[in-house]
């Protein structure tokens, strides 16, 4: 299975996403990074089919998603949004059930997805009583419940404890190992180095670099994207990057 964007452009108010072209295959994780306002979330919403592109096409296995019915699309692509929803008085299971909309009534797997994220004990709780991190895990369960080949994650690690971060990263890797296509936007360059197989760097709505993580995450590309000089070093977990300025501070402290 493959997902392909050909020179996709989208205007939203004064912001413009321009000429994005990528091709991603299943069994891989594509990380998208860039400064605030680079258009990562907009791009992800275009990929989810929520925002139709103004020009260009997006296809899954050669089929244009604009030609699919909404239900068919929802059976192929799921998305974990950055914002946590706030429904009135929903239970955790009411929340998860909503993501199975396109399959109609069936709800045999709700307990299973809660267990696979490790939050079976939250199943009977009211959603609004949960902490922000627990809510994120419930939304992750909802995404798993939708059970799609393409899974999109918009800043899944922001504002999380390390244990919940690990749980989400583990789930994302598991989805890749199940031969799904995972696309993740994130702020943390080192997080991206740890998690992703390929990377897309964006700035002000255009793509700066796209390819394998090794090719894309370089000192020059990072500078072109963020305007910040990074230095790289090898660590036991592999290649890592750190802003030169903070290295200088560290050296001074040492």
Partner 1 sequence: MHGKYLTSLVSGRRSQLSTRSAVIAVIFFVVLIVSLSIGTVQIPPMIVAEIILSQIPFLGAHFASGFSQVQYEIVVLLREPQILGAVVIGASLGVGGAVIQSIFKNPITEPYVIGISSGAALGAVLAIAGSVYIFGAYTVGGMAFIFSLLVVFLVYFASIRRGKVPMVYLLLMGIAISLFVSAIVAFLLFSNIRLQGAVFFWLLGSLQEMTWPKVEIITGINILMIMVSLLYSRELDAFQMGEEYASSVGVSVERTKILLIATITLGVSSCVAVAGLIGFVGLVIPHVSRIIFGGSNRSVVPASAVLGSVFLLISEDIAHSRLFGGEVIPIGIITSLIGVPFFMFLMVRLAGGFYES
Contacts to partner 1 by CB under 8 A = 45, 48-50, 70-71, 73-75, 77-79, 81, 83, 85, 87-91, 94-95, 97-102, 111, 120-121, 123-124, 126, 128-129, 146
How many angstroms separate the CA atoms of 97 and 114, rounded?
A: 12
Which residues, in sequence order, are CB contacts of 58 under 8 Å at separation 6+? 3, 4, 5, 6, 8, 46, 47, 49, 64, 65, 66
Here the tokens at position 247 are 């290295």
**Residue 87: burial class (beta carbons within 10 Å; 0-12, 13-18, 19+):** exposed
Closest to partner 1 by CB, 154 vs 189, is 154
Closest to partner 1 by CB, 145 vs 230, is 145
Least CB distance to partner 1 at residue 31 (A) = 20
Closest to partner 1 by CB, 154 vs 165, is 154
How many angstroms separate the CA atoms of 21 and 47, rounded?
A: 12
- Kindly report the backbone phi and psi dihedral angles of residue 80, in degrees, each rounded to the nearest multiple of 5, phi listed first: -100, 115
Least CB distance to partner 1 at residue 243 (A) = 34
Closest to partner 1 by CB, 42 vs 171, is 42
Least CB distance to partner 1 at residue 250 (A) = 41
Least CB distance to partner 1 at residue 222 (A) = 30
CB-based contact 176:156 (threshold 8 Å)? no
How many angstroms separate the CA atoms of 71 and 64, rounded?
A: 15
Which residues, in sequence order, are CB contacts of 176 under 8 Å at separation 6+? 27, 28, 29, 182, 197
Residue showing tokens 């390819």: 211
How many angstroms separate the CA atoms of 195 and 26, rounded?
A: 15
Q: Using CA atoms in the order 162, 163, 168, 174, what is the torsion angle rounded to 10 degrees?
A: 120
For CA atoms 239, 245, 249, 254, the dihedral sign is positive
Closest to partner 1 by CB, 75 vs 243, is 75
Least CB distance to partner 1 at residue 47 (A) = 11
Least CB distance to partner 1 at residue 52 (A) = 10
Closest to partner 1 by CB, 70 vs 249, is 70
Closest to partner 1 by CB, 94 vs 244, is 94
Least CB distance to partner 1 at residue 104 (A) = 8
């Amino acid at each position: 299975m493959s997902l392909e964007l050909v020179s996709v452009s989208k205007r939203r108010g004064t912001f413009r996403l321009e000429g994005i072209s990528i091709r991603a295959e299943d069994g891989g994780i594509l990380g998208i990074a860039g400064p605030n306002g680079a258009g990562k979330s907009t791009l992800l919403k275009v990929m989810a089919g929520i925002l139709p592109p103004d020009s260009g096409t997006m296809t899954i296995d050669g089929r244009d998603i604009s030609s699919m019915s909404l239900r068919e699309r929802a059976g192929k692509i799921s998305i974990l949004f950055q914002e946590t929803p706030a429904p009135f008085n929903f239970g955790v299971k009411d929340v998860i059930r909503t993501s199975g909309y396109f399959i109609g009534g069936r709800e045999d797997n709700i307990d299973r997805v809660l267990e696979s994220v490790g939050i079976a004990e939250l199943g009977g709780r009211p959603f609004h009583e949960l902490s922000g991190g627990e809510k994120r895990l419930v939304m992750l369960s909802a995404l798993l419940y939708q059970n799609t080949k393409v899974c999109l994650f918009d800043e899944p690690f922001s504002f999380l404890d390390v244990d919940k971060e690990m749980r989400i990263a583990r789930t994302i890797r598991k989805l890749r190992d199940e031969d799904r296509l995972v696309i993740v936007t994130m702020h943390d360059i080192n997080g991206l180095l740890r998690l992703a197989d390929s990377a897309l760097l964006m700035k002000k709505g255009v793509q700066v670099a796209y390819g394998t993580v090794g090719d894309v995450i370089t000192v020059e590309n990072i500078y072109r994207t963020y305007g910040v000089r990074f230095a790289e070093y090898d660590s036991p977990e592999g290649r890592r990057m750190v802003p030169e300025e903070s290295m200088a501070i560290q050296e001074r402290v040492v």
